């Protein structure tokens, strides 16, 4: 079985490609090395993959690559590529989100529509499509109301996936990820910032009071959800993928203190525009259709994340 993973040098994409190879897939990976964080970090994510004969890497973006040629022998697409980040999606930067997250998705869907060899197209969406909602947990039928341009771009691409299923029969499945963490997490994300700060005896910076809650999901569970979506996902459907751990951000810091044996020094910053106050996933639909159930507890996941970053902190400090 041949798979395409877009955004393969990223946090989730690299883990997913490694798992696919272990499952017997041959993987084509595409990445453009966008400058949202240093290239050397993404190249390190690819280190083991590029040495594997079952992996082929193509550097380039979805706008300029010959996607039809790439897809000739591909049977499943895992579309992970996107410009991430809620806080950076405002103002002039939104043009990059439109180009990469919306247009890039439309182009790869367009390339898939006339290819009968595509058995499944898995799109990586985001809990950001929900925005702020007073009714928790969030189900797939909850009104989508993004509070950031990033969320708007992910929701637009999600709608495109449904349209290409209805219009052309592209077998799309969208997965709404809820705050993913673990080894290789992007350096701008909270767990990475918190753990690296405590490892280097710096202040942990928290936006707002720390009372905001998130449903944190370990990267291995996200990868498993992608595999199950390929095997069992219903075409044209959307699924929440959460970790089952609704917790305050300030309590995450307490767990990191326990895991590290160090006392955190906190500095509170102003709340950021576009950050949802609370998220929590209803995963009953994914549980029923995909047989998805998060396996990694928050404590165990933070411990794994901490131990990995402790060994690899130098990658991020050059």
123 is catalytic: no
The CA distances from residue 184 to 46, 261, 310, in Å, are 11, 22, 12
State the Cα–Cα distance between residues 132 and 147, nearest whole angstrom: 7
Task: Spot the catalytic one: 97, 150, 164, 280.
Answer: 150
34 phi and psi, to 5 degrees?
-55, 155
The residue written with tokens 């979506």 in the block is: 229
Give the residue numbers marked as catalytic: 150
């Amino acid at each position: 079985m041949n798979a395409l993973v877009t955004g393969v040098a990223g946090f989730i994409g690299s883990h997913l490609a490694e798992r696919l190879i272990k499952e017997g897939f041959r993987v084509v990976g595409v990445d453009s090395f966008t400058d949202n964080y240093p290239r050397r970090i993404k190249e390190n994510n690819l280190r083991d993959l590029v040495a594997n004969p079952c992996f082929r890497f193509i550097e380039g973006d979805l706008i300029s690559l010959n996607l039809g040629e790439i897809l000739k022998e591909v049977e499943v697409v895992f579309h992970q590529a996107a410009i991430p980040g809620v806080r950076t999606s405002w103002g002039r930067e939104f043009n990059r989100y439109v180009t990469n997250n919306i247009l890039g998705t439309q182009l790869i869907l367009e390339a898939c529509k006339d290819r009968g060899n595509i058995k499944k197209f898995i799109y990586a969406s985001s809990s950001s499509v929900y925005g702020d909602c007073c009714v928790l947990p969030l189900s797939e039928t909850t009104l989508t109301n993004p509070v950031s341009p990033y969320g708007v771009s992910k929701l637009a691409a999600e709608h495109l996936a449904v349209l290409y299923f209805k219009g052309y029969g592209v077998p799309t499945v969208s997965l709404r990820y809820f705050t993913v963490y673990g080894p290789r997490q992007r350096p701008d994300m909270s767990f990475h910032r918190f753990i690296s700060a405590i490892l280097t005896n710096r202040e942990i910076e928290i936006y707002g009071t720390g009372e905001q809650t998130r449903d944190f999901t370990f990267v291995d569970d996200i990868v498993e959800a992608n595999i199950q979506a390929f095997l069992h996902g219903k075409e044209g459907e959307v699924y929440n993928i959460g970790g089952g751990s609704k917790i305050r951000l300030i309590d995450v810091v307490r767990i990191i203190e326990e895991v590290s044996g160090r006392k955190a020094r906190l500095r509170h910053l102003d709340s950021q525009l576009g950050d949802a106050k609370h998220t929590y996933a209803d995963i009953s639909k994914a549980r029923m259709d995909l047989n998805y159930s998060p396996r990694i507890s928050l404590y165990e996941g933070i411990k794994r994340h901490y131990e990995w970053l402790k060994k690899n902190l130098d990658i991020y400090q050059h």
